[in-house]
Amino acid sequence: MKRQNAQTLGEAIRLFLEEQHKLNSKLLETRLINSWGEIMGNGVANYTTHLEIKHKKLYVTLSSSLLRHNLMMSRHELIIKINLYLESEVITDIIFR
């Protein structure tokens, strides 16, 4: 016997996470940090020494001042790229250190 309103486990989890916005936000922030190399590429990831998110701001510590300057120039495009990758507005600003 098949239920009319049956849903997959994945759909049920997604719905639960949407209801629990804070939990979803933290999971997306963790996903961003864990996916930094995939999003930005190995070149940027190799020079990244620390990532932190506070109040929708991504703080990126880099070991190269030249790379930091180049990334600062394309900050707006990077915010869009990151949020598109995560399919949600996880960050609104990036601070390069």
Output the pLDDT for position 2. Answer: 59
Confidence of residue 93 (pLDDT cuts 50, 70, 90): very high
Read off the pTM: 0.77
Output the pLDDT for position 34. Answer: 97
SS3 for the chain, per residue? CCCCCCCCHHHHHHHHHHHCHHHHHHHHHHHHHHCHHHHHCHHHHHHEEEEEEECCEEEEEECCHHHHHHHHHCHHHHHHHHHHHHCCCCCCEEEEC
Q: Would you say residue 33 has pLDDT above 60?
A: yes
Confidence of residue 74 (pLDDT cuts 50, 70, 90): very high
